[in-house]
Structure 1
Amino acid sequence: MSYVQTNSVSVPKEPKGLGYAYYVTCVLLFAYTLSFVDRQILGLLVQPIKKDLSLADWEFSILHGFAFAIFYTLIGIFLGRVADRWNRRNLIIIGMLIWVLATGAGGYVTGFVSLFIARMLVGVGEAALSPAAYSILADYFPPERRARAMSIYTSGVYIGSATAFIVGGLVIQAASQGSEVVIPLLGSFKPWQAAFIYVALPGIPALLLMYTVREPLRRGVTALIKPKASGNTVATPSVPAPGFSYVFKNIRAYLPLLLAPGMTGMVTFSITAWLPATFIRQWGWTPGEIGPAYGLIILTFGIGGMLIGGLLADWLTGRGKLVGSVALSLCATLVLIGTGLALAFASSPTVALVAVAITTFFLGMPVALAPPILQSITPNQLRGQVTSIYLLLVNLIGLGCGPFLVAFFTDFVFHDEKKVGMSLGLVCAMAATFGVICLASAIGPYRKLVAEVQRAAKESA
């Protein structure tokens, strides 16, 4: 990377235009996609893992949710702070190396404990990605283009999940014809173990691509260095970070905006964890049938909802609508209450798939808009840390509690594993209701805070 020398303070020279910025977005999207493939492949492996490791639904929910979420969130706070002070590209590379190796290690597990450790390490590695990635994108794009860029990156949630369900379903279906899968140089595996190996392999080219990403100049830095020689002001990454008291000072805006993604996360992770099991148990489908079907829904409705949400949010921002993104998220979350109930009481697989398709489309909007909403009110030196808190709540509430609550209702309320679809729909509807309450309470404080941020930026300019 080249540098510009200004009064003995060196700052990175930025690439001209947005072409390279979108290239960086695509590389980060590829990494995020793979992280969700590695994360969501477990949803298709419920039945074979339960059978081979003799697990109950609630035990599997711990492997799928808490094993990943607890360590993802705990280490994420620390890594968010690192992302605010260190080279973000290099942090992502280290995290990718850890999660790719840990995913592959899933092929060698022999019991609950070893699989728990493998999933824990996947969480540790993936905790490095999003705090650094969202901070990088916020520096590469101006505010009026930020929502669409971040919605492209966030679509990795759906692209990765879709890939896991489509490819994973077909691989499992093909591999299940035999008792073992032989992978050259690595050994013989049961079909579900081989699935972990296969989804880990694309991490190798992803690591190489990350080396082509340049660390951008940090923008929106609240403190400035003023060299004595000429009095010119140059913003650099080495300035003191604002205290976390900024978040507590504006807690009326931050608290509901941090809790709401956790509620929508419950919908996301509950569906990805238990929808395959719902169709397998309740409707007699195979993994090779529900995997591609749900994967296609994710690729069309899910990504469509994210991209349309990002475009609408940028359009509203460009027209001066300060709370446009929050209002859009609120309206979309309202729809999820009805679709959750429709899923709970679906009378046929067709009705269930339609409910899932509508849910997936409108769920994509609040999922894609949560990061740019938070970035718009957060100083640069706090973005990684605020993102890590956002991810902590998404994963503790969404991934940790969502799949577990579905299993709890199935095992201890309905006492029938074929009722998992009703459990899934009810949990989704309840989570969406709380999400609506959070977003509605955030509108006023958010409008006030984003206006203050914009006014301060104009005065600084």
Structure 2
Amino acid sequence: MSSAAPTLPATRVGWRSHGLLLLMAAVFADNFVGRQILAVMFEPIKAEFGVGDSALGLISGLAFAAVYALLGLPAGRLVDRLPRVRLLAVACLLWALATMLCGLAGSFLVLALARMLVAVSEAPTTSASLSLIADLYPPQRRSFAISCFTAAPTFSSIIGLSIGAWVVEQYGWRTAFVALGLPALVFAATLGLLVREPARGRWDLSAHPAPAVRLGLRAEASALWALAPYRWLIVAGGLTTLGSYAVAMWNTSFLVRSHGLSLQDAGILAGVVCGSAAGVGGLFSGWLSDRLGRRAAHWQLSLPMFGHLAALSALISYLLWPSDLLLTLGALPVPAAMLWCALYSFFAVWWVAPSYNLVTQLVPPQRRGTAMALQTIVSTLLGVGVGPLLTGLLSDLLQPLYGVQSLRYALLLVSLPVLGAVLLLLRTSLHVTGQARPAALPVE
């Protein structure tokens, strides 16, 4: 990657592209509300089924991530082989049914199995959506488009945590699951009946020939993994989500335990403050990446590195800040630590859009589905699977020493691996320096 980014021809993107992006963002947001709302269900589920923090980490993480990882690559292969819009429609329908089933669970085991079914339905969603975005927007506009897509889950935390907390307290956690499934039925019908499939590789600078021989799934994954910059990027993303997803899932409980807030107040603060700050931060970083990337391509990696360091500094301050009250909004108490939480949320998402954009440039159109699936598998295993579970385990282990404050230090320990992500991004930047643009993986 040279110091000067390549100059691309002026392009126009039609309203159909924007409409499909908005619809995919809505689907992604609904999916993530289904994950995030578990954070305000932890305490009532724990009370109803009589389980510990480790079990809650399992139900919110590993039960989902294990199935997702198992099906991720086959789902990515389907994205590369089948019409992506129709595949998304089917996934939405299955997700709606599986999410409603969570609300009917009569035992902790049944709830865990239902979460696994949700993972089955979500397996193709991210890879299909990002593959479509690469064909809806040219590279010089792609980071902001990706940030609009990936910001949807962060804004959705306002619904999942604040409104979700109210629904859980007023109507119970089962009703909340059923209500989540209803919008997905509408999204499935819209995708299946009204949306057309865009051409693959529409904005590629050079034509990639269609593969003469189809590689097996394992061989294709190995070929992608052999591309060093791509490999370092996805491992960096996994190390980042290890801590960030743990914070997202346990933040409400942290505010309840360490700052003495009620479940509803904690959910409102975690949802509105974190969701708003992360949403704005994601959109801003995507816009800034496109703008600076036209001047010097290294910004696609420099921005994520700066964001990681700024986010970690703010998170340490947030977790260790005393439980002082900043102000009261009506009946809502706002701890002073929420200022650091907002700052953390703003910077924590700076890596997403630039890194995903770079991945779309590293691989040809015929392999973007598989490449994005592998990226998502690593992030899901470490973030969704390991992060919440490891936090719960550490919290239980530290409880004899720190009592109710054990969760505070568990979150701090789980967040430190982001420093490894910074080193991997730096290595990636050094590796691609001197190239006019990322080298695309050859298609056999």
**What TM-score results when the alignment is normalised by the length of structure 2?**
0.88
Out of 347, 357, 365, which is 1:362 matched to? 347
Report how far residue 249 of structure 1 moved: 4.3
Quote the residue 1:202 is aligned against. 183
Q: Which has the higher contact order (CA 8 A, sep 6+)?
A: 2
**1:99-129 deviations in Å (ceiling 9; x for gaps):** 1111111111121210111100111111111
Quote the residue 1:187 is aligned against. none
Quote the residue 2:298 is aligned against. 323
Quote the residue 1:228 is aligned against. none
Report how far residue 338 of structure 1 moved: 1.2
Matches within 5 A, 1:61-460: 61-175=57-171, 191-211=172-192, 212-219=194-201, 220=204, 223-224=208-209, 244=220, 246-251=223-228, 253-319=229-295, 321-348=296-323, 350-415=335-400, 416-428=403-415, 430-447=416-433, 451=437, 453=439
Report how far residue 403 of structure 1 moved: 0.9
Distance (whole Å) between structure 2 residues aligned to residue 33 and residue 130 of structure 1: 11
Distance (whole Å) between structure 2 residues aligned to residue 334 and residue 113 of structure 1: 39
Distance (whole Å) between structure 2 residues aligned to residue 45 and residue 450 of structure 1: 49
Distance (whole Å) between structure 1 residues aligned to residue 23 and residue 42 of structure 2: 31
Report how far residue 222 of structure 1 moved: 5.1
Distance (whole Å) between structure 1 residues aligned to residue 23 and residue 154 of structure 2: 16
Instruction: Tell me the SS of whatever aligns to 1:36.
Output: helix
Quote the residue 2:332 is aligned against. none
Distance (whole Å) between structure 1 residues aligned to residue 355 and residue 387 of structure 2: 19
Report how far residue 174 of structure 1 moved: 2.5
Report how far residue 90 of structure 1 moved: 1.1
Instruction: Tell me the SS of whatever aligns to 2:198.
Output: coil
Instruction: Specify whether residues 411 and 29 from structure 1 end up closer, same or farther in structure 2 by C-alpha distance, changes over 3 A only.
Output: same
Instruction: Specify whether residues 443 and 17 from structure 1 end up closer, same or farther in structure 2 by C-alpha distance, changes over 3 A only.
Output: closer
Q: Does 2:41 correspond to 1:45? A: yes
Instruction: Tell me the SS of whatever aligns to 2:266.
Output: helix
Instruction: Specify whether residues 239 and 34 from structure 1 end up closer, same or farther in structure 2 by C-alpha distance, changes over 3 A only.
Output: farther
Q: Is the 8 A contact 1:72 1:392 kept in 2?
A: yes
What letter corresponds to residue 328 of structure 1 in structure 2? L
**1:405-454 deviations in Å (ceiling 9; x for gaps):** 211221113433432122213322x1221221221111122345662548
Distance (whole Å) between structure 1 residues aligned to residue 75 and residue 169 of structure 2: 38
Report how far residue 317 of structure 1 moved: 2.1
Q: Is the 8 A contact 2:155 2:276 kept in 1?
A: no
Instruction: Tell me the SS of whatever aligns to 1:155.
Output: helix
Q: Is the 8 A contact 2:73 2:370 kept in 1?
A: yes
Which structure has the larger Rg over C-alpha atoms?
1
Runs of 4+ in 1 over 6 A off after TM superposition: none
Distance (whole Å) between structure 2 residues aligned to residue 52 and residue 299 of structure 1: 28
Report how far residue 34 of structure 1 moved: 0.4
Instruction: Specify whether residues 352 and 85 from structure 1 end up closer, same or farther in structure 2 by C-alpha distance, changes over 3 A only.
Output: same
Instruction: Tell me the SS of whatever aligns to 1:365.
Output: coil
Distance (whole Å) between structure 2 residues aligned to residue 173 and residue 60 of structure 1: 18
Report how far residue 352 of structure 1 moved: 2.7
The number of residues matched between the two structures is 412
Instruction: Specify whether residues 426 and 356 from structure 1 end up closer, same or farther in structure 2 by C-alpha distance, changes over 3 A only.
Output: farther
Q: Is the 8 A contact 2:21 2:149 kept in 1?
A: yes
What letter corresponds to residue 425 of structure 1 in structure 2? L
Please, which runs of 5 or more residues in structure 1 have no aligned partner? 1-14, 176-190, 225-236, 457-461
**1:155-174 deviations in Å (ceiling 9; x for gaps):** 12212222101210111233
Q: Is the 8 A contact 1:256 1:442 kept in 2?
A: yes
Instruction: Specify whether residues 89 and 259 from structure 1 end up closer, same or farther in structure 2 by C-alpha distance, changes over 3 A only.
Output: same
Distance (whole Å) between structure 1 residues aligned to residue 235 and residue 380 of structure 2: 11
Report how far residue 287 of structure 1 moved: 2.1
What letter corresponds to residue 122 of structure 1 in structure 2? V
